[in-house]
Amino acid sequence: MTNFAERVIQFNSNLHLDLNLPDGIRVMNPFAENPEALKISSAFYRRFYSDNKVRRLILGINPGRFGAGVTGIPFTDTKRLAEKCGIAIEGINTHEPSSVFVYEVIEAYGGVKKFYSDFYINSPSPLGFVKISSKGREVNYNYYDSTELSRTVYPFMVDSIKAHIRMGINTDVAFCLGTGKNYKVLSRMNEEQRFFGKLAPLEHPRYIMQYKSRQKQYYIDKYLETLRFLNSPW
């Protein structure tokens, strides 16, 4: 019988998206583009998820270039991976503000072992998207930034959440990172699919770090209160 870690690793190993996307947008698949991502993320999941405990799901948006796009682990840049999780990637050093916030929440919750024992983080779209900016550079792109893209990948996201649930997820409640468009899409999806009894929104870490950094402690406390209360036995 496989454990939670091996189910996640198998899911990541088989991820692909073969769809006609809007012009100028491409899929970012860290597990196909970066040979280290599957190796490093597999080490992470085997360290923290080698059991069959049922966890609650935290859903972001889609991977970013400097977090999961490099490590294969949502909201985890290489600095937090080394310092907090004890897994280093030689020759690569990435810093993602969202990862900084999430790991401050994790530390306040009780540390990585306790947090990852209770929660599993992924995204409705476990693959990321990038587009070419006016300066000719690739930049992060959210699945909901284009109505056409959102419509195209919607079935993929439904299938991905179903797969996450099969890994061993408690469906009483899930947490949505993003109180705007991401929450709107996931709420509609949850109404249609009846994945979770409750979908609890929290401000996205990137929004907090970019616009509300002076109130960061308030949002850390809000995360802790929400996660602890809704993760309590019913």
Residue 135: CATH number of its domain: 3.40.470.10
* 136 phi, psi to nearest 5 deg: 80, 15
Mean pLDDT for 8-33 is 92
For residues 72, 73, 78 and 83, what is the CA-based torsion angle, rounded to 10 degrees? -150
* CA–CA dist 202, 209 (Å, integer): 13
With residue 201 as reference, give the H or E element that holds it: strand 198-202
Q: Which residues pair with 177 in a beta bridge?
A: 202
Residue in 95, 143, 112, 132 with CA at minimum distance from that of residue 47: 112
Q: Which residues pair with 202 in a beta bridge?
A: 177
pLDDT, tens digit (0-9, with 9 covering 90-100), for 121-167: 999 999 999 998 777 788 889 999 999 999 999 999 999 999 999 99
88 pLDDT above the threshold of 80 = yes
Structural domain for 36, as ranges: 4-228
Q: Are 70 and 34 in contact (CB under 8 A)?
A: yes
> pLDDT value at position 234?
47
185 pLDDT above the threshold of 80 = yes
Residue in 193, 147, 138, 144 with CA at minimum distance from that of residue 171: 193
CA of 13: how far to CAs of 10, 41, 66, 161, 182, in Å? 5, 11, 20, 16, 26
pLDDT, tens digit (0-9, with 9 covering 90-100), for 90-109: 878 888 999 999 999 999 99
Q: Which residues pair with 57 in a beta bridge?
A: 120
Residues in the chain: 234
Residue 234 within a domain: no
The rounded percent of the chain whose pLDDT value lies above 90 is: 80
Place of tokens 């889609």: 62
Task: Tell me if residue 113 falls in helix, strand or coil.
Answer: helix
Instruction: Provide the number of structural domains found in the chain.
Output: 1
With residue 54 as reference, give the H or E element that holds it: none
Residue 72 within a domain: yes
Residue 233 within a domain: no
> pLDDT value at position 135?
79
Say how many C-beta atoms besides its own lie within 10 A of residue 206's C-beta. 21
* CA–CA dist 120, 55 (Å, integer): 6
Side-chain half-sphere exposure of 222, counting CA atoms within 13 A: 15
Residue 30 within a domain: yes
Residue 75 within a domain: yes
pLDDT band of residue 229 (cuts 50, 70, 90) is confident
pLDDT band of residue 116 (cuts 50, 70, 90) is very high
* 185 phi, psi to nearest 5 deg: -65, -45
Mean pLDDT for 56-72 is 88
- Rounded to the nearest integer, the mean pLDDT of the chain is 93
> pLDDT value at position 36?
86
Mean pLDDT for 215-232 is 91
